[in-house]
Amino acid sequence: MKGFSYKDYDALGIAELIRAKEITPSEVVNEAIKRIELLNPELNAVIYKMYEKAEAAAKKSHITDGPLAGVPVLLKNMTQEIEGEPITSGSKALKSYKAERDTNFVKRLREAGLLFLGQTNVPEFSLMGITEPQLHGATKNPWHTEYTPGGSSGGAAAAVASGMVPVAGANDGGGSIRIPAAYCGLFGLKPTRGRTPVGPKAGRHWQGASVDHVITRTVRDSAAILDMLNIHEKEAAFQAPVFNGSYLDCLNKPLDGRLKIAFSIESPIGTEVHSDCAEAVKQTAVLLEGMGYHIEEKNAPADGKAIANAYLTMYFGEVAASLTNLEGVLGRKAKSSDVEPSTWLLGLLGRATSAEEFVLSLREWDQAAFAMEGFQEEYDLYMTPATAYPPAKIGELELKSLEKLLIKAVGSFGMGSLLKKSGIVDQIAEQSLKRTPFTQLANLTGQPAMSVPLGNTAEGLPAGVQFSAARGREDLLLQIAAELEKTESWTDVKENDFFRRG
């Protein structure tokens, strides 16, 4: 196709051109590879490339292969496994590990006709809201390379925001879709627990807190791919409420003008909220009120600090289990030198966490879920900042040398319980959750939640606004997002310098 500007099309737009035979899958893949090679040396979003296989698949691709046949995509280097391909999860301990089979998530994308170009960068085991693993190095934000794109799907967000691909695989266990979407001016939907595939090796990820989906530039791409991922996976531990319609079709249906939306700009853990992040919510509230919706300032009924503690208890336990599982890959027990200091610290805290504490934390999840279900019966949507602070600078949140030495010294004696008593848990909560205290609630309750690009910081970086709905109501979130996407308040991701290149 003469004059084809690959970066300007979303996934559905590219698929339409391929079906109309205005462009071939091979031409699309070639353009995607060119953009990755042009931009990735500076952004470090893509850490593993599968160009030859993508080119071969493009030559065989046919419009009957699926609704997105011939469209390129990048997968997240965590749980989104392709048989025979490396999957490091951002850890040097797994640098030689190769996936034994395709995950069901990957199978569904393949059945939709998407072509896999490679994998995106993640923090070690996807544990952080930044993407700066020692193994692959830091990923940078296309809006300003001194800043993080967020995490843990930071590589995915940087790739989509810069126009390398229209969509990229992501997952969200505490905000890992919504945080990078907010920092990079993208649309990021975390579906309802149980909505998208988790198998075949697991029936749940992070006790059901983590859900796989994609990060996109347009709402319609997210909706279309959710249609493809919305299957009944009978082996899964959790099942989402049945939705028999089409999420994509929902975008064209008008919303009920009586929609009630609650909003809050208060941090659920009592920490500060940056004025730029709060202002994005306030302006969105004015916008929605002008669109005819009922807007009311009201906090969620969940105990924010209890939610934070319950989340961290699961977090510690999951890291400890991951370190134990490394034995099967390494052929020996994991040592502190196998992983990053922060990962080892979290594992020590997990080993010092009792079964009683773990069970009590899960009960807190259930109590919050019941409370939020009642809240969402009164209010159709709940709106907050997606993050409490703008993006941090690269390296700003790295552990200090003294902290690393402390972890190494205490870890040598396996004294995780001493660490818990030292107050370092409070420091972790303060450092990691104070910047992103709004996202974990939906992971623990199982609700769908999304970040929409509806604000900017004083530095010209994007700010996200988060919406959540009752379990099973992704359709409602997508509908309101589609309406907001038509407004001038929606951030145009194509304005970042990296997208403009080429």
Task: Give SS3 for 266.
Answer: coil
Q: Which of 384, 376, 369, 372 is nearest to 445 (CA)?
A: 369
Asked if 76 is an active-site residue, the reply is: yes
Q: Are 456 and 294 in contact (CB under 8 A)?
A: no
Q: Amino acid identity, residue 240? A: A
Q: How far is the C-alpha of 12 from the C-alpha of 468, rounded, in Å?
A: 25
Q: Is 107 labeled as catalytic in the residue annotation?
A: no
How many Å is the Cα radius of gyration of the chain? 21
Q: Give the active site residue among 89, 126, 152, 222.
A: 152
Rounded Cα distance between 347 and 319, Å, is 5
Residue keyed to tokens 């003008």: 257
378: its two tokens: 């009164």
Find the catalytic residue in 176, 222, 264, 267. 176
What residue has token string 């993407």? 131
DSSP string over 117-175: EEEE--SGGG-SSS---TTT----BTTBTTB---SSSHHHHHHHHTTS-SEEEEEESSS
* Burial tier of 328 (Cβ tally within 10 Å: 0-12, 13-18, 19+): exposed
Q: CA torsion, points 415, 421, 426, 427, in degrees to nearest 10?
A: -50
The Cα 502–Cα 492 span in angstroms is 18
Q: Which two tokens stand for residue 447?
A: 């609700």
Q: How far apart are CA 287 and CA 290, in angstroms?
A: 5
Alpha helices in 44-88 (DSSP H): 51-60
Give φ, ψ of 44 to 5 degrees. 55, 45
Start-to-end C-alpha separation, the chain: 17
Residues sharing a CB contact under 8 Å with residue 212, sequence separation 6 or more, in sequence order: 79, 80, 105, 169, 170, 171, 196, 197, 198, 205, 229
Are 479 and 495 a contacting pair, CB within 8 Å?
no
Assign 3-state DSSP to the chain and report helix, strand, coil percentages, each to 5. Answer: 45, 15, 40
Which amino acid appears at position 66 of this protein?
Answer: G
CA distance 327 to 332: 5
- Nearest CA-CA partner of 288 in 493, 452, 447: 452
Instruction: Pick the catalytic residue from 7, 26, 61, 76.
Output: 76
User: Residue 246 catalytic?
Assistant: no
- State the alpha helices, DSSP H only, in 436-496: 440-445, 474-485
Active-site residues, by number, are 76, 152, 176
